[in-house]
Amino acid sequence: MHRKRQREIKNETVRKKGIPTTASQKTPEDNSNRIRIAVGQSLILQFDVLPKQVIVGDDKIVDVLALEKEKTVVITGKNLGSTNIIVLGHNNDILLDTEIATFANEQSTVRVYTPGTLSFLSCTPRCLPSSPPVR
């Protein structure tokens, strides 16, 4: 019961700062301040205030869309890797400054090992190569 109350207090503190609350988002007090998202998947971050500007470290890794008048930012994983995003509010207040790591979505995939190579097949429903072989 005590831990539940601690989480409630922590979540309330996060909301007051205007930081989005989402299951995969860590709070700034945590050392692991990182968002993980699968390539080809999207994540919605809801803010208490209207985001004014979104800065992406490497736009080859993720695509970010700030929905006007919605207090929402949508992040979509594009390629494997890691980058960061900074979301600014009114008066350039930092609403979020975090690292984003993208990972391969391995649902419906098959790994094929042959001597010296590793290939991935995407089976949805027919199995087709999903990436070049890894040597």
Segment 68-123, tens digit of pLDDT? 788 999 999 998 899 999 999 989 999 999 999 998 777 777 888 888 888 878 77
CA nearest to 66, candidates 56, 84, 57, 54: 54
Report CA-CA distances (Å) from 121 to 39, 85, 101, 117, 132: 15, 31, 22, 13, 10
CB burial of residue 88 (10 Å; 0-12, 13-18, 19+):
middle
* Residues contacting 9, CB < 8 A, separation 6+: none
Domains and CATH numbers, the chain: 2-103 (2.60.40.1080), 106-135 (no CATH)
Residue with the bigger pLDDT between 31 and 74: it is 74
pLDDT of residue 76: 95
Q: pTM of this prediction?
A: 0.60
